[in-house]
């Protein structure tokens, strides 16, 4: 293609005729004739060109003065973020439709605040499950699946069919949900929905959990110092001992209940293969 473009440029400098046309996908012909391939291209922002429109564009191109012309039906809102995910492209600077609008930023629309507030009211396990459900739902959307159940929580994104372009689209949707610009390598750094959900949990709530943990440790240190100052004969010492034992028992019971709930939630979200793997592990079979 580059050689043909150069040939046309050379012919034009000598006053000869010639037009090089870079075509986008055509409907009803070539790769885009396959419905699945056409849908994959559409998700990337390249819409199969109607043949009648294509012929009309051909007539205008050969009668025009430009030596090299691109003819394609492009959804810029989808195409530009993927095409410029690694670095800005000077090829798009002259196309007004390809420039991001001011409101395209993933932050500042209140979505993330409501998401964070909604999840903050849940227990840590419920919150992580909600984030996992969100990741699976968004992954199903960019892959064209109507059912998030088609996306296993432990399945690798590559196995699910996520490539570099759909990875960018998934990143963009999750960025909008989280209200922060997530890294372009998000899907490759966290290769399964479960890994990715854990990252989002840390991104949204890691600082709050660290602060809560520090406050708890400080409170326990204060309590330990108070108890250490009590004399062995002080009745408050026995009262503290009984209360602490009761709290430890409740804490152990709650941890066991949370563990059972987590297994139940994971099984509800698991694919058939993941359920069979779980059964095999529990029964001790390889």
Confidence (pLDDT) at 103: 45
Confidence (pLDDT) at 231: 84
Q: How far apart are CA 214 and CA 219, in angstroms?
A: 9
Q: How far apart are CA 286 and CA 275, in angstroms?
A: 14
Beta strand pairing status for 73-74 and 20-23?
unpaired
**What structural domains and CATH numbers belong to the chain?**
2-74 (no CATH), 105-286 (1.10.1200.10)
Q: Which helix (H) or strand (E) holds 74?
A: strand 73-74
Please report which confidence band the pLDDT of residue 105 belongs to, taking 50, 70 and 90 as the band edges.
Answer: very low
Q: How far apart are CA 223 and CA 236, in angstroms?
A: 13
Residue 207 has pLDDT above 80, yes or no: no
Q: Which residues lie below 8 Å from residue 91, measured CB to CB, with a gap of 6+?
A: none
Average pLDDT of every residue of the chain: 80
Residue 134 has pLDDT above 60, yes or no: yes
Residue 283 has pLDDT above 70, yes or no: no
Task: Tell how far CA 228 is from the center of its chain.
Answer: 51
Give the N- to C-terminal CA distance of the chain in Å, as an integer.
53
Backbone conformation region of residue 237, classed left if phi is above 0, alpha if psi is from -120 to 50, else beta = alpha
* 39-70 burial: b if 16+ Cβ within 10 Å, else e: ebbbbbbbbbbeeeebeebeeebeeeeebbbe
- β partners of residue 46: 74
Q: How far apart are CA 85 and CA 104, in angstroms?
A: 14
Averaged pLDDT for residues 2-11: 90
> What is the Cβ-side half-sphere exposure of residue 229, based on CA atoms within 13 angstroms?
6
Confidence (pLDDT) at 136: 95
Confidence (pLDDT) at 168: 84
Confidence (pLDDT) at 86: 61
pLDDT tens digits, 138-178 = 999 888 888 999 999 999 999 998 987 788 889 988 988 88
Averaged pLDDT for residues 63-81: 87
Higher pLDDT, 111 or 161: 161
**Backbone phi and psi for residue 259, each to the nearest 5 degrees, phi listed first:** -65, -40
Confidence (pLDDT) at 38: 82
Residue 115 has pLDDT above 60, yes or no: yes
Confidence (pLDDT) at 268: 58
Confidence (pLDDT) at 198: 93
């Amino acid at each position: 293609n580059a050689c043909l473009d150069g040939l046309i440029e050379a012919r034009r400098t000598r006053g000869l005729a010639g037009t090089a046309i870079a075509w986008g996908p055509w409907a009803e012909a070539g790769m885009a004739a396959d419905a699945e391939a056409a849908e994959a291209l559409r998700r990337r922002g390249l819409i199969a060109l109607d043949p009648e429109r294509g012929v009309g564009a051909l007539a205008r191109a050969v009668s025009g003065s430009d030596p090299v012309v691109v003819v394609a039906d492009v959804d810029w809102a989808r195409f530009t973020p993927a095409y410029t995910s690694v670095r800005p492209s000077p090829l798009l600077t002259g196309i007004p439709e390809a420039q991001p609008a001011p409101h395209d930023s993933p932050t500042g629309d209140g979505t993330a605040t409501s998401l964070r507030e909604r999840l903050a009211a849940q227990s840590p396990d419920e919150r992580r499950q909600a984030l996992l459900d969100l990741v699976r739902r968004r992954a199903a959307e960019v892959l064209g699946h109507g059912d998030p159940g088609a996306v296993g929580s432990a399945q690798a994104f590559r196995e699910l069919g996520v490539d570099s372009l759909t990875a960018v689209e998934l990143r963009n949707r999750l960025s909008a949900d989280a209200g922060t610009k997530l890294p372009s390598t998000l899907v490759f750094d966290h290769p399964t929905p479960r890994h990715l959900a854990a990252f989002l949990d840390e991104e949204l709530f890691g600082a709050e959990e660290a602060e809560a943990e520090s406050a708890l440790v400080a409170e326990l240190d204060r309590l330990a110092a108070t108890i250490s100052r009590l004399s062995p004969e002080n009745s408050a010492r026995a009262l503290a001992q009984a209360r602490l034992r009761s709290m430890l028992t409740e804490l152990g019971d709650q941890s066991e209940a949370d563990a059972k709930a987590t297994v139940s939630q994971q099984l509800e979200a698991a694919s058939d293969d993941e359920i069979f793997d779980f059964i095999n592990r529990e029964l001790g079979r390889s």
